[in-house]
C-alpha cells in the first residue's frame, strides 16, 4: 500500500487494496485460513526491519524526488524569465518589471530612467559573418550588459535591441551610465567582429505619463534620434548628446 500511494496516489491505492482482497479471497479457497489475533516473537522480530527501515527508505526517496522537483521548478522559472541566448531578462518578464517600477515611482515620486540600446549595423554583421556569428555577438553583448549595476534591470527587447531600467536614477546619472556603457562596448574586442558600437536612447520618467509604455516610447524615440544622427551615441528624448561629449565616468 505504501508503494501504491507513492507511485500512483489514491487511485492506485484503491485498486491495489481491491486486488489484495481478491487475492486473499482466492487464497482462502485453496488453503484453510487460520485467524490469529496474536503474533509470536519470531513473527514480530521478522517484521521489525520492514516496519522501520522500509518507511525510512521510502521517506528518503521521496525527499530526493521533492528536491529534484524544486530544482526543476527553479530552472523553469529561470528559463521563463531569461533570454536563452543573451542571459538577460526576456521581454515579457522585463515588461512586468517596467510596469512594477512605473507604479512604484508613481506612488513614491522617485526618479527613474529607461534606456533603449541597439547594436549598430547588426544586419551587416549577419550578412557578412553569418547568423551564427551574429548570435555569438549577441551572447557576448548580453554578458557585457550583465556587468551593469546590480540595481539595473536589463532585458532583450527584440533582435539586437535591449532595454535597461534604471531605478532611483535621474537623467544626469542615467546619461553617465549610458555613456559608460557605450564607451565600454566600443572598446571591447568581440570574438568575431572585433569591434562593435551601440546607439542608446534615454528617457526619464515624467509625472505626466499615465502609461508605462508612453515612457518606453520616449526612450524608443530617443534611440531613433541616436541612430538617425550618426549612431554610436547617446541621445535623450529632448536633447542630443553625441558620443564625443565629456561625460564624467
Distances (CA, A) of 18 to 3, 9, 14, 22, 114: 15, 15, 6, 6, 65
Domains assigned to the chain: 2-81 (no CATH), 91-241 (3.30.70.270)
Which residues make Cβ contacts (< 8 Å) with residue 184, sequence separation at least 6? 144
pLDDT of residue 249: 37
Residues in CB range of 165: below 8 A, 6 or more apart: 94, 97, 98, 101, 112, 113, 114, 115, 152, 153, 154
pLDDT attached to residue 239: 53
pLDDT in the model for residue 149:
82
Q: Is the dihedral of CA 19, 24, 25, 26 positive or negative?
A: positive
Cell 526619464 belongs to residue: 204
The answer to whether 120 and 196 have CB atoms below 8 angstroms apart is yes
pLDDT of residue 227: 93
Low-confidence ranges of the chain (pLDDT < 70): 239-249
CA distance linking residue 57 with residue 9, whole number of Å: 18
What pLDDT, on the 0 to 100 scale, is given for residue 240? 42
Task: Give the pLDDT of residue 232.
Answer: 95
- At 35-87, the pLDDT tens digits run 778 888 888 888 888 888 888 888 888 889 889 999 999 889 888 899 999 99
What was the pLDDT predicted at 193? Answer: 87
The distance from CA 230 to its chain's CA centroid, rounded to whole angstroms, is 34
Amino acid 54: pLDDT: 82
> Does the global pTM surpass 0.85?
no
* pLDDT for residue 43: 83
Amino acid at each position: 500500500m505504501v508503494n501504491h500511494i507513492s507511485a500512483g496516489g489514491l487511485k492506485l491505492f484503491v485498486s491495489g487494496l481491491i486486488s489484495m482482497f481478491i487475492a486473499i479471497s482466492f487464497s482462502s479457497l485453496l488453503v484453510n485460513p487460520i485467524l490469529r489475533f496474536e503474533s509470536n516473537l519470531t513473527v514480530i522480530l521478522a517484521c521489525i526491519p520492514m516496519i522501520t527501515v522500509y518507511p525510512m527508505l521510502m521517506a528518503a526517496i521521496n525527499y530526493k524526488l521533492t528536491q529534484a522537483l524544486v530544482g526543476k521548478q527553479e530552472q523553469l522559472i529561470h528559463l521563463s524569465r531569461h533570454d536563452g541566448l543573451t542571459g538577460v531578462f526576456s521581454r515579457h518578464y522585463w515588461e512586468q518589471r517596467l510596469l512594477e517600477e512605473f507604479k512604484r515611482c508613481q506612488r513614491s515620486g522617485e526618479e527613474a530612467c529607461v534606456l533603449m540600446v541597439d547594436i549598430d549595423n547588426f544586419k551587416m554583421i549577419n550578412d557578412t559573418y553569418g547568423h551564427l556569428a551574429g548570435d555569438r555577438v549577441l551572447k557576448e553583448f548580453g554578458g557585457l550588459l550583465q556587468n551593469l549595476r546590480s540595481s539595473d534591470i536589463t532585458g532583450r527587447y527584440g533582435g539586437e535591441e535591449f532595454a535597461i531600467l534604471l531605478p532611483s536614477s535621474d537623467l544626469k546619472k542615467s546619461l553617465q551610465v549610458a555613456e559608460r556603457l557605450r564607451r565600454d562596448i566600443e572598446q571591447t574586442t568581440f570574438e568575431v567582429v572585433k569591434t562593435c558600437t551601440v546607439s542608446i536612447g534615454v528617457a526619464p520618467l515624467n509625472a505626466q505619463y499615465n502609461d508605462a509604455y508612453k515612457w518606453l516610447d520616449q526612450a524608443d524615440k530617443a534611440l531613433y534620434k541616436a541612430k538617425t544622427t550618426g549612431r554610436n551615441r547617446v541621445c535623450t528624448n529632448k536633447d542630443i548628446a553625441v558620443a564625443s561629449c565629456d561625460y564624467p565616468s
